[in-house]
Amino acid sequence: MLSSSQTNEARDFVFTDKEFRFLAGLANQKTGIVLTEQKRDMVYGRLTRRLRALRLRSFAEYCDLLQSDAFEDELPHLVNAITTNLTGFFREAHHFDHLHEQAAEWKRQGKKRLRLWSSACSSGMEPYSMAMTLRQSIPDIDSWDAKILATDIDSNMLAKGTAGEYGASDVEQVPPACQKAFIEPLAGGRVSMGDELRRLVTFRQLNLLESWPMRGKFDVVFCRNVVIYFDKPTKEVLFDRIADVMEPRGLLYIGHSENLHGITDRFELLGRTIYRRIR
């Protein structure tokens, strides 16, 4: 095992324990993301790019910058660098199958208003998958009052989601019928989300730790693969707040390695990582 001074010898920038602790503390305070010692190399790799862009010579200079008047301008860059944005179309496909079945139930109930929230939407593949599922399940959705809110803390990801363009290989997991109906090929091996999807989805920046401006209640919340980065008290507060913004029997989908056991009793488990609000 290398000591931090030995590791530093092979590196372009010295990265001391003190600097790592400062950056990890700031990231945790602002985003809820816990950066343990095991994430140190990841933090180094992601932030050296930023140091080079700023033409800084050391992490000490970067920490100084974050303690100067430039803090507000630099913070979004720090946040964007430390978030992990892995996502995919129809990731954890059983959630979309379940949403499809739920849509049949809404139709039977004569429901005409729907509010869905993709609460850590990354580059938009999750909310566009939700939109495709709704369009397939409810062909007359344009006569409903249906909206999907897609939020994330990372401004770079929101820009990608809003642009709605991806590589052709990104949409391989999209069922062929959905590709045909809702995705348009572009030049250069790129594809674009069609207008029928874009009309349903609105992208906004939102930090799950801060205040939420939404007023209406959600029928469905996707909160997937984001709380894995948070500590238990942060999860407890977050899921309590999510229950508060949901319809009484609303659906919550969480990530494959997550569960609500010991976190909140406001949801009942319906199936694998699928919950219903009960209080």
Ligand X SMILES: C[S@@+](CC[C@H](N)C(=O)[O-])C[C@H]1O[C@@H](n2cnc3c(N)ncnc32)[C@H](O)[C@@H]1O
Eight-class DSSP state of 1: -
Query: What is the crossing angle of helices 17-31 and 40-53, to 10°?
Result: 90
Of the two residues 153 and 260, which places its CB atom closer to ligand X in the complex? 153
Contacts to ligand X from residues 195-254, by CB under 6 A: 207-209, 224-226
Of the two residues 48 and 83, which places its CB atom closer to ligand X in the complex? 83
277 is catalytic: no
Stretch that binds ligand X, among 2-10, 17-25, 26-34, 177-185 (CB under 6 A): 26-34
Amino acid code (one letter) for 9: E
CB atoms within 10 A of CB 216: 11
Of the two residues 13 and 225, which places its CB atom closer to ligand X in the complex? 225
- Residue 148 has φ and ψ, to the nearest 5°, of -115, 120
User: Can residue 129 be called a binding residue for ligand X (CB under 6 A)?
Assistant: no
User: Can residue 83 be called a binding residue for ligand X (CB under 6 A)?
Assistant: yes
Q: Where does residue 255 fall: left (phi above 0), alpha (psi -120 to 50 degrees), or beta otherwise?
A: beta
Of the two residues 13 and 152, which places its CB atom closer to ligand X in the complex? 152
DSSP 195-257: HHHHTTEEEEE--TTS-----SPEEEEEE-SSGGGS-HHHHHHHHHHHHHTEEEEEEEEE-TT
Q: In whole angstroms, how close is the CB of 30 to ligand X at the nearest point? A: 8
CA gap 265, 279 in Å, rounded? 8
Which member of 26, 27, 33, 149 binds ligand X (CB under 6 A)? Answer: 33
User: Can residue 1 be called a binding residue for ligand X (CB under 6 A)?
Assistant: no
Query: What is the crossing angle of helices 71-82 and 17-31, to 10°?
Result: 90
Which member of 31, 133, 179, 264 binds ligand X (CB under 6 A)? Answer: 31
Which residue is catalytic, options 91, 152, 154, 224? 152
Of the two residues 96 and 267, which places its CB atom closer to ligand X in the complex? 96
Q: In whole angstroms, how close is the CB of 162 to ligand X at the nearest point? A: 14
Which member of 9, 86, 139, 188 binds ligand X (CB under 6 A)? Answer: 86
CA gap 223, 32 in Å, rounded? 14
In Å, the largest CA–CA distance within the chain is 67
Using CB under 6 A, list all residues that contact ligand X. 31-33, 83-87, 91, 120, 122, 126, 152-154, 157, 207-209, 224-226, 255
The residues assigned a catalytic role are 46, 152
